[in-house]
Structure 1
Amino acid sequence: MNRKRILIIASSIILSGIIFVVVGFMTSQGIQVNYHEIDKDFDLKIAQFSDTHFDNKYVREDYNVMVDTVNDEEVDLLIFTGDMFQITDVSLELEESITSLLSEINADYKLAVLGNHDYFGSTTLTNRIITILEDSGFTVLINESITYVINDQTFNFIGFDDLMMGDSNYSDVLGEVDENAINFVLSHEPDTFDSILNTDCVAMFSGHSHGGQIRLPIIGDIYNVEGARKYNDHHYEVDGKDLYISFGMGESVIRVRFYNRRQFEIYNYS
């Protein structure tokens, strides 16, 4: 093989690599909405967002698409499945900005559970996160359940505490499954899904996995964190029960997404 041919091959490989990386970053910009049309014998529209990992680089305008989309959809329920901040030193200005953002999102009901990052830092920070959520209209479920009548049907929502940083004994709260209602579970870590398989629950909504955050075409995620080792893709169905995982709105550890846009979910049960 002559020198010129070697240079052509080497240049092609380098150029292909550059294009691959550039496309990976470019396709990860912005926020996308994932729509899920689910055939069930009840009517319920849910919006889910998760893993926002807000930090001092927060820009309100970045979240217009989420606010506008959810408000246009007129959802019955808005759920947040944990990990609000990436930082532990949260300024009062940032706290007020996030409260304002979440207050602008309209829904008949709002529910939230905490994630592992919501327990990082001090108890004071955890309490501030709960206050932000409550001041924005959310009910925070920490191994608790709540029942709503929506569209003339009774729904029971169970919220797990965080698997890694909270009280992960879910036996008592699973005892609150209501046989006379349609039961759903909210849990930050998707690997808690197995705990509901022998219950009368329809589905679980989770976050945490970020879809691996760094993904490759065809291959998908290349690393999965603790709490999302078994379940880390968008959807699983086991024994007639569904697990839905949002890949989230932020980044953890490194502020990079690759072939993996920030995203939120709209679920339309009908």
Structure 2
Amino acid sequence: MLDRRSVLRTLAGLFLAVTGTGAYAAIWEPGRQAITRYRLTPRGWPEGRRLRLAVLSDLHIGSLHVPLARVSELVAATNALKPDLTLLLGDFVASRRRFASDPAMADWAAELARLETRDGVFAILGNHDWWHDEPTQALRAGPTQVGQALERAGIPVLENRAVRLSSQAGPLWLAGLGDQLAFLPRLRGRPHGIDDLAGTMAQIADDGAPVILMAHEPDIFVRMPERVSLTLSGHTHGGQVRFLGWAPIVPSRYGNRYAYGHVREDGRDLVVSGGIGTSQLPIRFGIPPEIVLIELG
């Protein structure tokens, strides 16, 4: 039979477990910085050619755990990996209205411009880079303030655009898709995003050079043509809360199918980054912030 002391001890244990888990998810894990490594050879990748890709996604600069100083730390950690190519997958700003105290876009763009690579630094935009840009939303058209800040800092933004690079691994096509969820509110009969997969692919020659495509949201992967060797995405934060590899809430129509990590379907490869910052709730559990390093070939 349980006495009062046993009941109180049990309740105290439950309270400490709940509050301890909450503190971990709100304070400790979001401040971590992991390096997640993948080694793969996608379909169509030239034999014997190697390429190191660093990927940063969903920084959400200005949010609770990502002040300007954190951006500097991320740049230093990414440079230490000595990548051939560094790719920035969108959602640079916090997932809320901008505050006067937020770091100036020019300041964090200048920090990102310190990224060092052999073959360049390229970016795409995410939904929050559009959603919290009031003039852009009113016009339902760009350019965005985030995109302009990156371009002024010398970082090309690929929006439905493909470029041919002479990379460490030889000729390579790098493509960036416009955001698939760019506009709020969603109006019937009008596009929700600015993505143009067909138009982007039309810029890529049938020359045998492999194609890497950046798309902020991973849902486009179901329609990705075979010509694309590797698709890179962010957006989901891995669900932001994960239990044994499963997330209860994923911002994707496909749920956990494209929530996180390396996915291979029908011979096609997708890597979804868990990102750096947080969205909506400032917590992470089971999916710490990460810099992704992909070694191809």
TM-score, normalization: structure 2? Answer: 0.80
- Rounded to whole Å, the distance in 2 between the matches of 1:168 and 1:103 is 25
- Aligned with 1:79: secondary structure? strand
Aligned residue identity for 2:30 = S
For residues 73-152 of structure 1, the aligned pairs below 5 Å read: 73-86=81-94, 87-89=96-98, 94-107=104-117, 108-120=119-131, 121-123=134-136, 126-151=143-168
- Aligned with 2:287: secondary structure? coil
- Rounded to whole Å, the distance in 1 between the matches of 2:172 and 2:245 is 38
Aligned residue identity for 1:224 = V
- Rounded to whole Å, the distance in 2 between the matches of 1:117 and 1:59 is 17
- Give the aligned partner of residue 281 of structure 2: 254
Aligned residue identity for 2:121 = K
Contact 1:157 / 1:183 at 8 angstroms: preserved in 2? Answer: yes
Contact 2:63 / 2:277 at 8 angstroms: preserved in 1? Answer: no
For residues 17-96 of structure 1, the aligned pairs below 5 Å read: 17-25=18-26, 26-39=28-41, 41=47, 42-55=49-62, 59-86=67-94, 87-89=96-98, 94-96=104-106
Unaligned runs of 5+ in 2: 183-192
- Aligned with 2:108: secondary structure? helix
- Rounded to whole Å, the distance in 1 between the matches of 2:275 and 2:126 is 12
- Rounded to whole Å, the distance in 1 between the matches of 2:204 and 2:253 is 23
What displacement does 1:90 show?
6.6
Task: Tell me whether 234-243 or 56-65 shows the greater mean CA deviation.
Answer: 56-65
Aligned residue identity for 1:267 = I
What displacement does 1:23 show?
3.7
- Rounded to whole Å, the distance in 2 between the matches of 1:195 and 1:93 is 37
- Give the aligned partner of residue 10 of structure 1: 11
What displacement does 1:12 show?
3.2
- Give the aligned partner of residue 233 of structure 2: 206
Residues 161, 90 of structure 1: alpha-carbon distance in 2 compared, 3 angstrom cutoff: farther
- Rounded to whole Å, the distance in 2 between the matches of 1:195 and 1:80 is 22
Unaligned runs of 5+ in 1: none
Aligned residue identity for 1:52 = L
- Name the Cα RMSD after superposition: 2.5
Residue 221 in 1 paired to residue 247 in 2?
A: yes
Residues 221, 72 of structure 1: alpha-carbon distance in 2 compared, 3 angstrom cutoff: same
What displacement does 1:77 show?
1.1
Contact 1:118 / 1:126 at 8 angstroms: preserved in 2? Answer: no
Q: How many percent of aligned residue pairs carry the same amino acid?
A: 22
What displacement does 1:93 show?
5.9
Aligned residue identity for 1:135 = R
- Rounded to whole Å, the distance in 1 between the matches of 2:86 and 2:162 is 16
Residues 56, 199 of structure 1: alpha-carbon distance in 2 compared, 3 angstrom cutoff: closer
Structure whose residues are more often strand by fraction: 1
What displacement does 1:61 show?
2.5
TM-score, normalization: structure 1? Answer: 0.88
Aligned residue identity for 1:195 = R
